[in-house]
Structure 1
Amino acid sequence: MPVAADSGGRWALGFWGELGDRIVGAPSILAADFANLAEDVRRAQRGGAELVHFDAMDNQFVPNLTVGPVVAASLVEAIDLPVDAHLMVDSPDNLIPPFIEAGVASISVQPEAVTHLHRTLTMIRAGGCEAGVALNPTTPPEFIEWALPYLDYVLVMTVNPGFGGQSFIPEMADKVRRLKEMTDLPIQVDGGITAETAPIMVGAGAQVLVAGSAVYKGDAEVEMRKIIDAARGAG
């Protein structure tokens, strides 16, 4: 868990701080079997996954309702991978403390839903988690320019948030390239990521590939490995 900042303002410890140049696969639990959630995560882990992406939706910011910190806490206890919580919610400050208490490793928020982003990111880091922002497809990278010193990673949504199984938006590769011109922070991508689209995003500069429907459409171990191998081949 992150405990101290280095001279550049980045946290010295934690998944994102230790990522280096590695390319990583992360299953999205949104597409998993919630009755067998921990085992579904383990299947993806056997395929090489190193992070779990946990989508929290409130039926307000996005038109869907999923799970919250109670489920996150149970999952953290049941698996041995770090859990990355993506809060697709209005007023995320209300949920940050219980997600920190749940033991997640990192938390990303939607800057479109936050009034005081500096305060929100500071809250996440002060609680011992790494902090990220997630950008909707039409939100420009410049929107977070002044927040970059307080971030540990950036998540680029490659579909509109809210539902799994959507089609990949190819223009998001250009957004990743623009972000790489602005910052050396790790970039995560989520939405329509498959063995075919993962190399495109890695070529643009993404390192952490979130995949849900493509992983859980069949054997999660096999499908996760296909995506990681394709991505690393491009890298």
Structure 2
Amino acid sequence: MSIYYEFALECYLIQNIDREVINILTYMTRSEEYEFEKPKIDYSLFQEGSDYKKIVEIEGNEFTVIQSEWRTILTNYPREGEQYLPGKFGSAFNNNNELSFRKLLRDDEFDNIWWLLLPWLASISETQGFVGYYRSDLDDFPNLIYFFEHEFHIYNVIPKHHIQDWISDKPKNLICLRECALSQVVKQELLRQANTRKISLEEYIMSVVTQNWISESELSIT
């Protein structure tokens, strides 16, 4: 039985972004098929030759990345399972250079491309802060995506009462959330989390903290 991942993100691109990047994102978020050549950008995400696989290591776990799947991860087509979840799914890239998406994928599709997609999006994002999230259908809490100085970080969401139980080993790098610092897609996800627990968004935000789990510099890609 497959595990499914829900993921969402929104950001504005840096000013004077290259036209090829605009064309790539327009293609990636397409609502209908058309021919599109392999990008000339020298970046691992877009390699489609004979050596089209990469190994990404995260905290001792290895994932095989199939790079050609950059073509399908963000398409604006409905995916199986999205119809059963609350909220709107889809993807878009508009004339203001704003990228937004919320999608659902099986775990193998997600792992095949996600850890190459995130660094690229962070490198071209003007927006900083908590820009998105992802979580599997086995997770009780989402993982928040944080962009800073064109690199990405992943923050775990942790209930405060768990922290209070860790008397002898206080975790480091904890950050309290502020609603004004969250992107709209993150607010919407936290609101869904709050509704499930029958509390307000403000109460939910006050009941959790975040901890830096993964930083881009810690990824190993071979």
TM-score w.r.t. the length of structure 2 is: 0.31
The structure number with the bigger radius of gyration is 2
Larger RCO (CA under 8 A, 6+ residues apart): 2
Q: Which has the higher helix share?
A: 1
- Relative to its length, the structure with more strand (as a share) is 2
TM-score by length of 1: 0.30
